[in-house]
A and B are shown apart, each in its own frame.
Chain A
Amino acid sequence: MNNLRNSTPDCVYQPQFIDGHALSIPTFTLLQADGCLFPRARAPNLNREQALKIYHSMVFIRILDERMLAAQRQGRISFYLQCLGEEATTVASAAALDDKDMIMAQYREQGALHYRGFSLTQFMDQLLSNEHDLGKGRQMPVHYGSKALHYMTISSPLGTQIPQASGYAYGQKLRGEPNITLCYFGEGAASVGDFHAGLNMAAVLKAPVIFFCRNNGYAISTPAHEQYISDGIASRGVGYGIPAIRVDGADALAVYEATRLARELALSGQQPVLIEAMAYRLGAHSSSDDPSGYRSRDEETRWRSQDPIARYRRWLLQQDWLDEAADQLASDVLRQEVLEALKIAEKIAKPHIDTLITDVYAQPTDLLHSQLAQLKAHIRRFPEAYPLSAARCK
């Protein structure tokens, strides 16, 4: 590391300002829209099985998103966040990790979670807040988490996971583990204080963490050019002394390769690395948002031609790794399975009333026990007003 205080400075004798716009970080890309590699590009070392697993997670998430957004419109779930257009960023990056690397995500990375093995049933249980939800029905839909899959439970406040990822990775380093932490966030979250605190902490304390920015163009309705100036988020990494790479977020092969190399660098160097994936949030921010109020159809259409799944699919077809007819059939079957799983999850009871006071502390306090007893007595008095719990307050 360059220690400015202990080295002889390079001096100039006319004032010179460095313009941040002069820094122009290139975008790493391998795959063209037609599924052919760029002339000088080389495909990463993926075998057929891995390549198809990535594809199936991308397709799974697209179908899940489409069905669950419809379910939200029907009032069957309260809220939803889709990742339309960003499937390659999250799935291909997760595919480049070891299964025991910790993932600390924002809220639009369900593709990474599916790739890790989160089942359709587990997705449904969380979305429906039923008693099988690992999170015990305490958070809004899409706030997934799984200890078994090394996927930290999502928190709603933006960017809070960034300094936490630095600390988690530092813990892995102290334990001497051959693992790293990957932290996802959007370009909007790169404006919060936690981003700057987290990057600086990781850089100074040398934590093996990959900061993975999904630069998808919008933070709800605020376009990226109103979010930051200068050269995107990758340049922030450079400012903190963190190696950074910008990658085409709609290109699964490039995302995979960039993440694989970033992981090697983070692990071997015990240091942070930053990846900025340039993608586009083709859908709305959430089920409560309507993007037609702030962006044009033309813009969306232009990005739709970069569809990460279609592009990757064409590559798979060219490898002869995918059978078109079988693929179509599998998608139809999956659509049906999602609906069936939704119906089943809807019928499962909500979490037991006793879970209202558990997990606040390792053990509920006396005061919490007495508050629960009072609540149950109240519900026994007005059982018809509390249909979810009345039967369990005997």
Chain B
Amino acid sequence: MAEMNLLQAINQALDLAMARDKDVVCFGEDVGHFGGVFRATSQLQEKYGSARCFNTPLTEQGIIGFANGMAARGLKPVAEIQFADYIYPAFDQIVNETAKFRYRSGNEFNVGGLVIRTPYGGGIAGGHYHSQSPEAYFAHTAGIRVVIPRNPVQAKGLLLAAIACPDPVLFMEPKRLYRAAVGEVDIAYYETPLDKAEVVQSGCDVTVLAWGAQMEVAAKAVVLAELEGVSCELIDLRTILPWDQDCIVDSVLKTGRLVISHEAPLTGGFAGEIAATIQQRCFLYLESPIARVCGLDTPYPLALEKEYQADQLKVFSAIMDTVNF
């Protein structure tokens, strides 16, 4: 075990994966000698050479198109998109190509080795082009997996599992927590399942569900609610697509209440999908309407970021309103 932050855990996962398998190749803008703008790929070019860890030209659609081709050849590209806000030029390559490669060819070809890493989310005074949480766009696309870790332990295990996975994976990293989230991490190789939620804390009055950086906010809200005598079950969804329905259903059957919180705007957000499913599967057990605490349906602001965010007080309020419905 060693103490490390989320970035170091990602860097170690990439290092282990490249050491184990020469087919693992890391690339993206500034990823080479510089180690990426956040330093997630530090030292990898020095260790594995510039053929396996390199800078690309500034073209997101080129990076993902190139990665698709490399994965189709049987390699395991780990392509970095510098900010999730800049993933849209690659949207066509991800949604129409990555996600459909295996299906459209009847499994003649696939891009199973592909992992797309991208930092997402707000709270860093980044304004609307450095703060978006676009997971819901990709959750609508069958054929890819969408994974969001919340801490260093998860980041390492989930990233190693993503690289080993026979399906292409979009791996979204909470950049606000890159250096803020620190923990004891096993320095050996390990994988964390890509389709399981994690029950972080048991409780009996209400289920509180979030993922990625929003888990920190949810955990603070749970502490506030507990001071009011409310017992919360806190769950990290961990993988957005496919998502662990059964885990959430089991919890809501027990608590009868659900509060879902994410950073992204409310309308069309992934909380809507979860709410619809839980409503269908737990209808007779629900004690109150499912609550969603999300960003506003606006672009992400700069100066009024604090007001915009689904912060712990908003989540706390939703928990109390749900319990007292």
Contact = CB atoms under 8 A, between A and B. Distances in A.
Interface stretch (B61-69, B117-125, B317-325): B61-69
Given A162-B65, A194-B65, A201-B62, A365 B73 contact: no
A155 B66 contact: no
A135 B106 contact: yes
A167 interface: yes
Contacts of A163: 61-62, 64-66, 68-69, 93
A184 to B, nearest CB: 14
Contacts, number: 160
In this complex, the interface size class of chain B, counting residues with CB under 8 Å from chain A, is 35 or more
B286 to A, nearest CB: 21
B74 interface: yes
In this complex, the interface size class of chain A, counting residues with CB under 8 Å from chain B, is 35 or more
A170 B59 contact: no
A167 B102 contact: no
Interface string A163-184: 1111111111011000001000
B267 interface: no
A286 interface: no
B192 interface: no
A193 B64 CA distance: 13
Interface string A321-361: 00000000000000000000000000000000000001111
A152 interface: yes
A357 to B, nearest CB: 9
Contacts of B110: 359, 362
A139 B105 CA distance: 8
Contacts of B97: 155, 157, 160, 164
B251 to A, nearest CB: 17
Given A145-B109, A167-B70, A171-B74, A197 B104 contact: no
Given A164-B97, A359-B102, A174 B65 contact: no
B72 interface: yes
Interface string A188-210: 00000110111011001100000
B77 interface: yes
B264 interface: no
A135 B105 contact: yes
A152 B65 contact: no
Nearest to A207: B66
Contacts of B56: 201, 204-205
B35 interface: no
Nearest to A135: B106
B36 interface: no
Nearest to B52: A174
A169 B99 CA distance: 21
Interface of B: 25, 51-52, 54, 56-57, 59, 61-75, 77, 89, 92-93, 96-97, 100-110, 112, 142-143, 145, 165-167, 195, 242, 245-246
22 contacts: A145-B109, A146-B108, A153-B109, A155-B96, A155-B104, A163-B68, A163-B93, A164-B97, A167-B70, A168-B73, A170-B66, A174-B52, A175-B73, A194-B61, A201-B66, A358-B107, A359-B103, A359-B105, A359-B110, A361-B242, A366-B245, A366-B246
